Amino acid sequence: MFDSRHIRTFHEVVRTGSYSAAARALGYTQPAITQQMKALERSVGTPLFIRAGRQMRLTEAGEALSRHAGVILDSIATAQQQMASLTRLRAGKVRVCAFPSAGATLVPEALTRLAVEHPGVRVELQEGEPPDSLRRVVRGECDITLAFTYPGLHEQVPEELVEIPLLEDQLTVLLPTGHPMARRRAVKLAELADERWIAGCLRCRTNFLHECAELGFAPDIAFTTDDNLVVQSLVAEGLGIAMMPGLVLSFLVHQKVTGRALDPASRRQVSAYVLREHLEIPATALVLQELRRTAENKVGC
């Protein structure tokens, strides 16, 4: 209904008391002011000014608009400042959803650098495993999700999402330090067929069962947990062994646990996923950039 330029001019006419004074203050010609006020009156559908001799007075509609004009202009100025801050990366909020091992490795390093270089950009962290974490992006519950896929499972990714590959994470086997296989540089999964196992999240467990089936055995899964620290504790006590992502090796907390690569190598793809239109949002693009920089230095990249 309103053109912000006309509101600004109207506000100046009211403040200065005449078209000519407003023209001088704004650097316009008086006919330009007259034309803008006529256009504003057409927009509201009623006169805003009446003349009484040489005096110009506001109509009832003009009085009402005058009460709102200052607020409108202040709101526009505030919005312009906020937009400038967002586009120049002085401010912005990005919601990131990450699976646990990425949340413990990729995310902290990326956010540390971000906090130094762009302190106005705020990142809110959520935890979630795929495929639910992928659906959160589609539902608008987060802006970026970090997820992983296994090549042998042919997993479906929602078509609305854009994938940004970050790294290939090599799978490892966590063993008690006294385990005979712990002395090797790499272990063969088939040689561990008789072991008791600790399985992880649904997607990891599905891949683990798939790889075991490819080798002709069904593993004895004694425990199932999504908690990496619980897995390490169980392994440390000799209650089982676990196939885990290489990212976990960077935060092993038990001295009694050793990680060994699989031979032949087995990997999962770690990627960031966003809605296509979010790639154009400066703060989101910046967080993705920092995640890529961090991933380049990680094991398995």
- Higher-pLDDT residue of 107 and 73 is 107
39-74 per-residue burial string, b: 16 or more CB within 10 A, e: under 16: ebbeebeeebbeeeeeeeebeeebeebbeebeebbe
pLDDT tens track for 144-159: 999 999 988 877 888 8
Residue 87 clears pLDDT 60, i.e. is over it: no
Q: What per-residue confidence (pLDDT) applies to 241?
A: 96
Structure tokens at 146: 């970090």
Whole-structure pTM value: 0.68
At the topology level of CATH, where does 4-72 sit? Arc Repressor Mutant, subunit A (1.10.10)
Strand partners, 261: 172, 186
- Show the tokens assigned to 126: 């959520």
pLDDT reported for residue 66: 87
Q: Is the per-residue pLDDT at 192 higher than 60?
A: yes
Enumerate the CATH 3.40.190.10 domain ranges in the chain, comma separated: 85-167+269-297, 171-266
Q: What average pLDDT score do residues 178-192 get?
A: 93
Give span(s): CATH 1.10.10.10, the chain: 4-72
* Superfamily of chain region 85-167+269-297: Periplasmic binding protein-like II (3.40.190.10)
Q: Which two tokens stand for residue 255?
A: 């001295």
Q: What is the mean pLDDT of residues 197-208?
A: 93
Q: How far apart are the first and last CA of the chain?
A: 55
Separation between Cα atoms, residue 233 and residue 105, nearest integer Å? 19
Return the pLDDT at 88. 53
